[in-house]
Structures are given as C-alpha cells and as structure tokens.
Amino acid sequence: MVGCISDLSACLIDAGIGPGLAGFLETLVGTLIVTLLPLTLVIILVWIERKYSARVQDRVGPNRVGPFGLLQPAADAVKMITKEDITPAGADRIVYNIAPILSALSVILIWAVIPFSPVHIGVDLSIGVLYFFAVGSVGALAVMLGGWSSNNKYALLGAFRVVAQLISYEVPNILAALMPVMIAGTLSMQGLVHAQAGMWFAISLPLSALLFFISSIAEVGRTPFDLLEAESEIVAGFNIEYSGMKFGLFMAGEFLHVLTIAILTAVIFFGGWLGPGVQEVPALGWLWLAIKSTILYLLALHMRSTLPRVRIDQLMSFNWKFLVPLSLVNIIVVAFLFKLVQELGLTPAADETTNIIANLPQTFILLLGNLAIIGGVLVYLRGLGREQRLANEMAAAVDEDVEHHPHHDEEVAAAAVAD
C-alpha cells in the first residue's frame, strides 16, 4: 500500500492493468491532485487566516458555524455563490469575465512545478523557477484587465497602482531567486531541493531568503504592502465592481497565493521535502514540506495582523531605493564569493554533496558575505536615521524659537531656509 503512494503506475500494473492505461491513470490522478488540492486548501486557509488574525487582535473570530467555526468558510462560499452577479453598465463583458479566472489560474498553475516529495511533482520542468515567474506575470495581466473592463475610474486607478507594484517587486524577487539557482546550477525545482541536501540555502544565503520572502509578500499584496486591495484605499481597488463568485475567485487566488509563496520559499530556501527518513519513505516529504511551509505561512499571517500599511510612495521607494540596490549588491558579492570558493577548491566533492561537514566551508564563506552586507546596510541606515533625527531636532528647535519670539517668526523661518 505504501508502495502505491510512491509509484502508482507500478502498483496498478501489479494489480493487472495494462501499462498504457496505468500510465494514463497515474497522470490523471497526479493532475487532479495538483489542481484540486490548492482549491480545497483555500477553504481551510480562509478559516486559519480569520482565526489567526482574530486571536492576534484579541478577538474570538468565527465561532458560530460548526465546531470552532470550522464551517464558516462553507457558509461564506454559499453566501458568495448566492449573491447577485452584477456586471456594470458599459463593462467589457468578455474581458470582465476572463479576469478573475486568469487571476486564480496564475496561482494554481504554479502548483504544477512544486515538488512535494522526491517522487511527487506535477512535472519537473528543466526551467521550473523561470516557469514560476512566467506564470506569476499573468497575475498582473489579470489585475489590469479586471480594472480596465469594469468601466470604473477608481478600479482603473487601483489597477494602475497594482500593476506598478507587481512589476516593481518582481525585480528583487527574481534577483533573490537567482542566488540559489546560481549555486545549485539548475533551474529545476527538484534540482534545487537536491542541491540543499547538505545545507539549506536559507543558512548560506539568509539575505536572499529574506529578500525573496519580503518581495513575495509584496507580489501577493499582503500587509504591509496591501494597499492595492485595502478596504480603506481607493474604494477597495481594482476589484470594486466585482461581486459574487467572481469576487470570490479573486479572493481565493489571493488567499492561495500566500500559501503558495510560503511553499515556494520553503522549497527554494528551506530544503523543501528534505528531512529525516525521506530517502526510505518518500511520502514523508509531504509532511516535512507541510511543516516548513506552515511555519512560513503563519509568519506571513503574523505580518499581516501586526504591521501597519505603508503609503504608495513609501512602497515604491522601499522597492527601488532599498530592495533593488540591495539585491544587486547581494548578487555581486555572492557571485564573487562563490567563484572564490570554487577557485579555492572548497566546494563539496561530487560524492559528498549531502554531507553537512563537507558543505561547511562553502556555507561559512557565503554566510560571512551575507552578514557583512547586512551589517553594512544596518550601519548605513543608522547613519541615515541619525541624520534625519538631527534634522528633526533642528526643526523642532527652530519651532521653539518661533514660539518664544512670535514677532520674529518670519526672520527665523528665513534663517532656517538659509541654513
């Protein structure tokens, strides 16, 4: 029975089914799992998310429908489906209907390349990471189409903002994912996991992991970067005109996206399905991946419930003035150090890649480089903060002067400007 989980087609052939049919059935079951699993998970995710943020904010959260409110998502779904489906006058009907589908699709398609265990993966593309970014870019398109086709200027304005945000944060996101790809020497998801058998990339490349996680949160549009669909901003953003299940699809896509990026971060930086006993029982990989991604998912939820929202200009300058330069510096430093490690012959030998001891020198050097960048950035930010604080104190002092000599305030202001 356990064998069936690891290799379904061999199991079916044993049971007396022809090889062709067995292969087809295996593909069919795999496809169904990869597409239906995320759609089923969404229902649980909604409950977890509402309960978690309620607890953080000292509320009880859903507790009326079913035990612990577990049936609340079902009730929500029924409500969504029974709502009136309104298409605004003057809307572009076809585009208006395609947009929510594209939005959910762009997330579900990512699941095709997620490795759940050594043997369970939708398809191990040789360009897995690139596929993830290519599919993700369809999400921006969905937002744009949804905002435009609603025939509502606020929806359009919201869509412009969202697309600007998505395109901007894609830059540090890709640059951060480039580091593990460079060190593993492969774009395939399984290849990335195998490359971490000796050491997780999160330990040798903590800065890249952090950059990837932060910019992914922004790609998803979660607090603190959630002004694209925040309830209090431009009348809820690009999806204002959507109602019923179409709005539900946008929401489902968003909820699912958070879990998806948690899983991807786990796969790319935290060793994916790697864990004790995976070599003997491949199905254990599901458990390890689930544990790792749940921790990251809860971290994202915690960020959502505790951090304040940023303004649009802060959002943009944080990306272009902080994340992008930092990722570029990171690339140069890591690439240089990795080449150095190779030249010094400190990379683990081909037969020792799973040995932690053999991986230590390389990890140590890369980690040192990362820590040096982080330290440098912190020192720089400290200097910047002090400068700002001094400027504020100067301004406050000037203000006090103005209060003491109300008649001279114009002269003082002129002096301050001259300063």
User: What residues line the site for other proteins (CB under 8 A)?
Assistant: 92, 95, 125-127, 130-131, 133-135, 137-138, 140-141, 144-145, 148, 156, 163, 167, 170, 187
Q: How far is the CB of 130 from other proteins (least distance, A)?
A: 4
Rounded Cα distance, 294 and 146, in Å: 31
Nearest approach, Cβ of residue 136 and other proteins (Å) = 8
Cβ closest to other proteins, residue 181 vs residue 300: 181
The answer to whether residues 214 and 225 touch, using CB atoms and an 8 Å cutoff, is no
The distance of Cα 349 from the centroid of its chain, to the nearest Å, equals 33
In whole angstroms, the minimum distance from the beta carbon of 122 to other proteins comes to 15
* Helical residues (DSSP H) of 243-355, grouped into ranges: 244-269, 284-306, 312-317, 324-344
Q: In the complex, what is the shortest distance from the CB of residue 304 to other proteins, in angstroms, rounded to a whole number?
A: 26
With contact defined as beta carbons under 8 Å apart, do 305 and 52 qualify?
Answer: yes
- Residue number with CB closer to other proteins (135 or 183): 135
- Looking at the Cβ atoms of 45 and 129, the one nearer to other proteins is 129
**Of the two residues 54 and 125, which places its CB atom closer to other proteins in the complex?**
125
Contacts of residues 43-50 at CB distance under 8 Å and 24 or more positions apart, as own/partner, are: 43/73, 43/74, 43/77, 44/73, 45/255, 45/256, 45/258, 45/259, 46/72, 46/73, 46/76, 46/255, 47/72, 47/73, 48/301, 49/255, 49/258, 49/301, 49/304
CB of 183 to other proteins, least distance (A): 15
| Closer of 136 and 285 to other proteins (Cβ) | 136
Q: Between 141 and 329, whose beta carbon lies closer to other proteins? A: 141
Q: Max alpha carbon distance in the chain (Å)?
A: 100
Full DSSP string of 302-313: HHHHHSPPPPHH
Shortest approach of other proteins to residue 55 CB, angstroms? Answer: 38
Buried/exposed code over 42-74 (b: 16+ C-beta within 10 A; e: otherwise): bbebbbbbbbbbbeeeeeebbeeeeeebeebbe
Query: Nearest approach, Cβ of 163 to other proteins (angstroms)?
Result: 6
Q: Which is nearer to other proteins, 145 or 262 (CB)?
A: 145
